[in-house]
Amino acid sequence: MEAEAVTETGAEAGTRALRRAWWQRWRSRVDRATTVWAVAYAGFGLVCALWTTPLFSLGDTPASPALNWAVVVVGVLAATVSGAVTRYGARPGLRVLLWVNCVLAGLAAFGLLLDVVTLVFGQGVDSAPAAANHALAATGCLLLATMARTVGGPVPASVAAAPPAPSAASRPVQLAAGAGTVAFLPYVAMKLVWVSGGTFAGNTGEQMLAISEHNGASEIWLTLESWGLDGTVLLAALGVFLLWGLVRPWGQVYPRWTPWLRGRRVPRALPLVPALMGAATLAPYGVLGAGYLALATADVVTVGQGDFSSPGDALLVGWIGMVAFGVYGCALIAAARSYWIRTRPVAVAAATEHGRPVGTSG
């Protein structure tokens, strides 16, 4: 009995040592990566500020290059906080500063989704420095959030962790996904009317095609429209597929028609990265846009007619788009949060009992 107790004690001590070593290595890598990013981001902002290259825009108009100093401030603050965490360890105030910096970086990353969409359809971005700022800020947002979650966190229950069994989201989250899907139906119908040559909101399909050419649409985009396919409709279909993959069990395992991956678990980052990009862009864009349209509907502000024959037509199209983006973006936030929680690894060797691993539900 004494020999067995000694064996168990030694095994538990070894497991704890391995857990501590793994956790320290993980935290050290995240801390170093965050510090390197912060220094690079501050340097990027400084160069753009000195060269008066605008990194932000107000609508279609480039903002003042003086706003570039905000990038420098975010980078310097991130470098200072990450360095303080590495030197002094976990402090509640430092974690708060990390989350504040994460929010600021997330705001600077707004527009990354639009950059990705334009590149996918073979159309260059409006500003290469601004697009680089969006990508760098999004990278920093993920690093800062990871660091904020790991700072001062408990040592994991086990070095080895297994993904949980595929599961569906709760009923309220699935209802939100349904609302996000239904919200896109009027938008898709409007686009399909135009690409099929019909008339909606005073504009014919030929007029919308000419407007796309005038606005500098790429050859890929124009070719799709000539085939009766609208690029935004295809993106909406992909978005709905992503949304339901986040809330249904099949979104956690590769499907049967993938011969080399069939049955394997989908990496968590694969659906979460585009989900976070979409939510961070579409939710605020749709909600704030709907607020502005509500003021325009109440005649508090005026809305221009743009490419349409009257302000009323522009208002109608605006409502269809903003409701679709806003409801879908909010549904994507709920779905991504549910997916993150449901796919967290489960500890499989949190303790030992008579020399054998004992699983926990984590």
Report pLDDT digits (tens) over 295-343: 999 988 888 878 888 889 999 999 999 999 999 999 999 999 999 999 8
Report pLDDT digits (tens) over 144-188: 988 887 765 554 444 455 678 889 999 999 999 999 999 999 999
Nearest CA-CA partner of 101 in 150, 143, 153: 143
Q: What pTM was estimated for this model as a whole?
A: 0.78
Residue 350 domain-assigned (yes or no): no
Please give the residue that has the higher pLDDT: either 234 or 6. 234
Last residue of a domain, one of 159, 190, 221: 159
Helix (H, G, I), strand (E, B), or coil: what is residue 218?
coil
Q: How many CB atoms lie within 10 A of CB 52?
A: 10
If asked whether residues 21 and 76 sit together in one domain, one would say yes
Helix (H, G, I), strand (E, B), or coil: what is residue 265?
strand
Residue 114 domain-assigned (yes or no): yes
User: What would the mean pLDDT of 31-38 be, rounded to a whole number?
Assistant: 90
Q: Is the pLDDT of residue 23 over 80?
A: no
Q: In the block, which residue shows the tokens 């008579």? A: 354
Instruction: Calculate what percentage of the chain has a pLDDT beyond 70.
Output: 83
Helix axes of 269-297 and 231-247: crossing angle, nearest 10 degrees: 120
pLDDT score recorded for residue 352: 43
Spatial separation of the C-alpha atoms in residues 226 and 209, rounded to whole Å: 9
Q: What angle do CA 300, 303, 304 make, to 5 degrees?
A: 155
Q: Is the pLDDT of residue 1 over 50?
A: no
User: What would the mean pLDDT of 207-232 be, rounded to a whole number?
Assistant: 82
The strand pair at 356-358 and 351-353 is best described as antiparallel
If asked whether residues 206 and 296 sit together in one domain, one would say yes
CA 351 to chain centre: 36
If asked whether residues 117 and 184 sit together in one domain, one would say no
Residue 144 domain-assigned (yes or no): yes
For 260, the token pair is: 């080399």
If asked whether residues 148 and 228 sit together in one domain, one would say no
Q: What is the DSSP string of 104-156?
A: HHHHHTTTHHHHHHHHHTT---S-HHHHHHHHHHHHHHHHHHHHHHHTTPPPP
pLDDT score recorded for residue 16: 59
Q: How many CB atoms lie within 10 A of CB 135?
A: 13
Report pLDDT digits (tens) over 57-82: 876 688 888 999 999 999 999 999 98
pLDDT score recorded for residue 184: 94
Last residue of a domain, one of 137, 159, 181: 159
Q: Is the pLDDT of residue 47 over 80?
A: yes
If asked whether residues 232 and 267 sit together in one domain, one would say yes
Residue 57: domain span: 2-159
Are 253 and 264 contacting, i.e. CB atoms less than 8 angstroms apart?
Answer: yes
Report pLDDT digits (tens) over 235-276: 999 999 999 999 999 988 887 777 777 778 888 888 998 998
Q: Is the pLDDT of residue 101 over 80?
A: yes
If asked whether residues 244 and 193 sit together in one domain, one would say yes
Spatial separation of the C-alpha atoms in residues 200 and 302, rounded to whole Å: 22
Q: How many domains does the chain have?
A: 2
Q: Is the pLDDT of residue 8 over 60?
A: no
pLDDT score recorded for residue 168: 93
**Given its phi and psi angles, is residue 59 left (phi above 0), alpha (psi -120 to 50 degrees) or beta?**
left
pLDDT score recorded for residue 10: 57
Residue 359 domain-assigned (yes or no): no
For 15, the token pair is: 């497991």
Q: Is the pLDDT of residue 361 over 60?
A: no
Report pLDDT digits (tens) over 346-355: 655 544 444 4
If asked whether residues 169 and 137 sit together in one domain, one would say no
If asked whether residues 93 and 175 sit together in one domain, one would say no
Most confident of 214-228, 272-286, 340-354: 272-286
Please give the residue that has the higher pLDDT: either 194 or 356. 194
Average pLDDT, the chain: 83
pLDDT score recorded for residue 57: 83
If asked whether residues 289 and 322 sit together in one domain, one would say yes
